[in-house]
Copies of this chain bind each other. A is one copy, B any other.
Amino acid sequence: MTETETPGFRPLYQQVRDLLRQRISTGHWRPDEALPSESRLAAELKVSQGTVRKALDDLAAQNLVVRRQGRGTFVAAHSADRSLFHFFRLVGDDGERKLPSSRMLDCRRGMAGAAEAARLELAPGALVLRIDRLRLIRDQPAIIERIVVPQALFPGLDGPDHRPLPNTLYDLYQREYGVTIGRAAEQLKAVGASPEDAELLHLRTGAPLLEIDRLALDLDGRPVEWRLSRCVTEHLHYAAELA
């Protein structure tokens, strides 16, 4: 734990942070599990407690870890709550967060098309799983979503064990496959409803829909899921904070 050449200088706490990040992302500690205490880690790594503290604070700032005074430091877990709160930004116009229910439309494997392979960084012809769902808010059809994931990452996701799939997938990815979604990039557009959209959503063709194109990445920045949603924003909006 001592590398202090001036060219290629890298602060100690960053080395510690990256080491801990690696241990977390490889499952050395499981979600919701407590890490060793600051003093234990300091002793193990032969650095001062302050250095460990700074590393852990960094990880906490990236939501990789949760610190609780008097209890310990825990690997962040994707509860259904957190999935919703963090990755579902559609809010009712009255300010209430609506959690939608899901109706599976289709779920099948196939070879990745050019666009899918590009977004998910797959070799051409790799297998993917495509899930089409209709999502209802207060029993009204509100969102159509197409989810594409690499088949190799989630074997058995389309098997009989997983009918029906749960409402929030990210905690399932984490719990059952050890894949933690770390961040996501969304691209929003306004589009007109296709005839198929229109029928499923009880609208007229060409009605304005909010299209959300999301690419979700794991903790190491590898693309894991591509999701394309079309939303009726009659009584909903997408909320964003600019800070």
* A interface with B by C-beta (< 8 Å): 62-63, 86-87, 89, 91, 182-192, 206-211, 213-214, 231, 233, 236-243
Complex Cα–Cα for A89 and B186 (A): 11
Q: Do A210 and B189 touch (CB < 8 A)? A: yes
Complex Cα–Cα for A191 and B238 (A): 13
Known: A183-B243, A242-B184, A243-B63. A237 touches B189 (CB 8 A): yes
Chain B residue nearest in CB terms to A240? B186
Q: Do B185 and A188 touch (CB < 8 A)? A: no
Q: Do A190 and B191 touch (CB < 8 A)? A: yes
Contact of A190 among B63, B86, B190 (CB under 8 A): B190
Task: Enumerate chain B residues within 8 angstroms of A184, measured Cβ to Cβ.
Answer: 241-242
Q: Do A86 and B242 touch (CB < 8 A)? A: yes
- Closest CB-CB distance, A91 to chain B, in whole Å? 8
Task: Enumerate chain B residues within 8 angstroms of A186, measured Cβ to Cβ.
Answer: 239-242
Chain B residue nearest in CB terms to A242? B184
Complex Cα–Cα for A98 and B149 (A): 32
Contact of A242 among B87, B211, B233 (CB under 8 A): B87
Chain B residue nearest in CB terms to A191? B208
Chain B residue nearest in CB terms to A57? B57
A191, A210, A242 pick with most chain B CB within 10 angstroms: A242
A187, A207, A209 pick with most chain B CB within 10 angstroms: A187
Q: Do A237 and B192 touch (CB < 8 A)? A: no
Chain B residue nearest in CB terms to A62? B243
Chain B residue nearest in CB terms to A204? B206
Q: Do B87 and A185 touch (CB < 8 A)? A: no
Complex Cα–Cα for A236 and B210 (A): 13
Task: Enumerate chain B residues within 8 angstroms of A183, measured Cβ to Cβ.
Answer: 241-243
Q: Do B240 and A240 touch (CB < 8 A)? A: yes
Chain B residue nearest in CB terms to A206? B206
Q: Do A233 and B185 touch (CB < 8 A)? A: no
- Closest CB-CB distance, A97 to chain B, in whole Å? 13
Task: Enumerate chain B residues within 8 angstroms of A188, measured Cβ to Cβ.
Answer: 188, 210, 233, 237-240
Complex Cα–Cα for A185 and B91 (A): 13
Task: Enumerate chain B residues within 8 angstroms of A91, measured Cβ to Cβ.
Answer: 187
